[in-house]
Structure 1
Amino acid sequence: MPVDPRYDTSGLDDSEENRMIKYGYELFTHTPRYIGPENGDRQMVYSGNNLACNNCHLKAGTKAYSGMLIGVINRFPQYRGREDKMGTIEERINGCMERSMNGRVLPVNGKEMQAFVSYLKWLNRFAPEDGKVEGTGYTEIEIPERPVDLEKGKKLFAANCVVCHGEDGQGQRLKGTPGYLYPPLWGDDSYNIGAGMARVITAAQFIKTNMPFGVTYENPLLSDEECYDLAGYINQHSRPQKPHSEDDFPDLRKKPVSTPYPPYADNFSVHQHQVGPFQPIMEYYEKKYGIKKNK
């Protein structure tokens, strides 16, 4: 996919400020090369897997409805239910480090964190003051009123995903460098259970506008039901645990219904939280707590 020239770092000069922006871009697109487990410097291992930020935030964070990061700086500080407090952009980045990257936090005042923030600020140049840009987050889907059909998900994976991610879901490595051309979707080198992508509804929303590779919000390929079954199939495979996941969501009422690990503020099974149906859980929260959930 061509890079929008407004967000192409290759044209930046070599000023001190621009060097930091370009380093942030490099960290974002080639994360394991600098802070991954195979980077060659044990003290610089912060990511526990060989994924890159770019594997989830596509086109270096500029693709609509793929967790697009244009405008994100202006949306922080931001309340996060997972921590039940107002959080900084640095804390949000470190949340990704601990979950999607299955690693450890970056020093807040370190060069790498400063580079990430510099890159995000640079992406923010054309964003409105409130940071609300069309294409933020993920698209909504109509959630089927049934459990995930794992057998259908398996067939959908075979038909749409194996060409990039492989029959074993382990992706395709880049030659001569750490990292992946197409990332693993489960297993030891994938995101852990604490990542947003480990939730069926979130993963289905991502798939809708981004997968198979090349689809867009305007031209999706899979139906909402297909995305739902495919996401459920992917996330029923094993992946790393997150240490102290029981401490997530101090107010358990704010935990998304498809969070795949307990505890919960309800008596529905872990299995139902993983594969649905989700409507009974949503109805329970609205009736008992007055909270209307959509994910």
Structure 2
Amino acid sequence: MEHFGYLVRRLFWLFVTVLSLITVLFITLLTYRTETTIPSKTVSLTVSNSEWRPKNVLAALEDGSTPQRVKVGFLLVSESPENIGPQAPDPNKRYAGNNLSCTNCHLQFGTQAGSGSWVGVANRFPQFGGRANAVGDLQDRINGCMERSMNGKKLPKDSQEILAIVAYMEWLGEDLPQERENEFKGFPKIKIPEVRVDLEKGKSVYDRECLVCHGADGQGIKKTDTSKGYLYPPLWGPDSFNNGAGMHRVITAAEFIKSNMPFGLATYKNPKLTDEEAYHVAGYINSFVRPVKANTEADYPDKKLKPVSTSYGPWADNFSQEQHHFGPFQPIMEYYKENYNIEKVK
């Protein structure tokens, strides 16, 4: 009997041990399945709106997956002089009148927020434009730059060139979250100083912050291969934008400068210049001689829609050309508010 009792006890502890091992194994398997299967259901491959970033253009173009028309568009906007400008081998392709590239202003190949980015721009057209007093498409907007910033002539709206540029702009905006569209729209506003531009203050800012790239004479620095245009563009003179360009308006130029200059040292989120510094240096840059666009009197058929810092007339007010050019702009803005109930911001 004693031997039998001993055997029973051994069998009991063996049973307990086996049961314990089974329990541990079951818990281990359950934990393993929980840790490995649940994340697979919750981890998303979709980039969140806050994490979305514009394309790395050069890397994307090199990987071989980019449509050919997009590649052509990229070359047209980044090496404009030799493709659609004065350096183009075919005289019939010389649409731009200066040696600027589109990307001299639309920075980082059009992806930099605060610099008139092209990211998402295709989503905003057609839209009404006061300068033509009509609804225009993206081709119309591009041609506005061709005639003014590029001091040239329009691209035919059915041309391969303009269709390639549109394709490039559309490509830049692929997958742009709707919540991020405003971030890439135009130039961030500044608080406009309530004074006339001070050209001496503007020169001081220019000499300190701009001269190293654009030169004492404002003529910029050309690329090693001069057929490809400028590394840093001229800000005035015969090879710069003409007086019909938006950048010739002090307020518009100040907004661009505040968000982007000095180049490589400022962004719209982290500017280097104050509103006042950007304002005065914008006026200084626009105090010099530059090409004159023909037929500017036809701009803004409804003169009430003309930006207050447009330096050429006629206007729907009696303020002087000098004040429209250099300010102060608040009295002009107040006039349009009081007489036409129009809120002017530029």
Deviation string, structure 1 residues 129-176 (Cα, Å, up to 9, x no partner): 698341311011111111000011011111111100000000001112
CA distance, structure 1, for counterparts of residue 220 and residue 262 of structure 2: 13
1:185 to 227, 230, 235: 235
2:289 to 232, 238, 241: 238
Quick one: which amino acid aligns to residue 279 of structure 1?
Answer: Q
Q: Is the 8 A contact 2:54 2:172 kept in 1?
A: no
Query: Which residue in 2 is equivalent to 1:287?
Result: 338
Quick one: which amino acid aligns to residue 111 of structure 2?
Answer: T
CA distance, structure 2, for counterparts of residue 150 and residue 86 of structure 1: 37
CA distance, structure 2, for counterparts of residue 284 and residue 38 of structure 1: 46
The more displaced of 282-291 and 5-14 is 5-14
Query: Which residue in 2 is equivalent to 1:223?
Result: 274
Query: Which residue in 1 is equivalent to 2:312?
Result: 261
1:38 is displaced (CA, Å) by 2.0
| Secondary structure of residue in 2 paired with 1:79 | strand
Deviation string, structure 1 residues 109-141 (Cα, Å, up to 9, x no partner): 111011101101101212246983413110111
CA distance, structure 2, for counterparts of residue 133 and residue 224 of structure 1: 21
CA distance, structure 2, for counterparts of residue 76 and residue 5 of structure 1: 21
Q: Is the 8 A contact 1:102 1:242 kept in 2?
A: yes
Distance 1:32 1:283, change over 3 A: same
CA distance, structure 2, for counterparts of residue 14 and residue 132 of structure 1: 25
Quick one: which amino acid aligns to residue 159 of structure 1?
Answer: R
CA distance, structure 2, for counterparts of residue 14 and residue 135 of structure 1: 25
Deviation string, structure 1 residues 228-252 (Cα, Å, up to 9, x no partner): 0000000011111111110000000
Q: Is the 8 A contact 1:72 1:124 kept in 2?
A: yes
Matched, 1:160 2:244: no
CA distance, structure 1, for counterparts of residue 240 and residue 56 of structure 2: 31
Ranges in structure 1 where 5+ consecutive residues have no aligned partner: none
Query: Which residue in 2 is equivalent to 1:198?
Result: 248
TM-score, normalised to structure 1's length?
0.95
% same residue? 54
1:169 to 211, 214, 218: 218
Ranges in structure 2 where 5+ consecutive residues have no aligned partner: 1-52
Deviation string, structure 1 residues 4-49 (Cα, Å, up to 9, x no partner): 545444245267xx11101101111111110111223211100000
Distance 1:10 1:279, change over 3 A: same
| Secondary structure of residue in 1 paired with 2:187 | coil
Quick one: which amino acid aligns to residue 236 of structure 1?
Answer: S
Deviation string, structure 1 residues 161-192 (Cα, Å, up to 9, x no partner): 11000000000011123200000000010000
Query: Which residue in 2 is equivalent to 1:42?
Result: 91
Matched positions, count: 291
TM-score, normalised to structure 2's length?
0.81
1:204 is displaced (CA, Å) by 0.2
CA distance, structure 1, for counterparts of residue 80 and residue 168 of structure 2: 14
Structure whose residues are more often helix by fraction: 2
Q: Is the 8 A contact 2:118 2:184 kept in 1?
A: no
Quick one: which amino acid aligns to residue 243 of structure 2?
Answer: I
2:70 to 15, 21, 36: 21
Distance 1:104 1:131, change over 3 A: farther
CA distance, structure 2, for counterparts of residue 4 and residue 292 of structure 1: 33
2:259 to 209, 212, 217: 209
The more displaced of 214-223 and 63-72 is 214-223
The more displaced of 218-227 and 272-281 is 218-227
Give the number of the structure with larger relative contact order, counting CA–CA contacts within 8 Å between residues 6 or more apart: 1
Q: List, as ranges, runs of 4+ consecutive aligned residues in structure 1 with deviation greater than 3 Å.
A: 3-9, 128-131
Query: Which residue in 1 is equivalent to 2:143?
Result: 94
CA distance, structure 2, for counterparts of residue 51 and residue 288 of structure 1: 40
Q: Is the 8 A contact 1:74 1:129 kept in 2?
A: no
Deviation string, structure 1 residues 196-226 (Cα, Å, up to 9, x no partner): 1000000000000100111111221111000
* Structure with greater Cα Rg: 2
1:10 to 61, 73, 80: 61
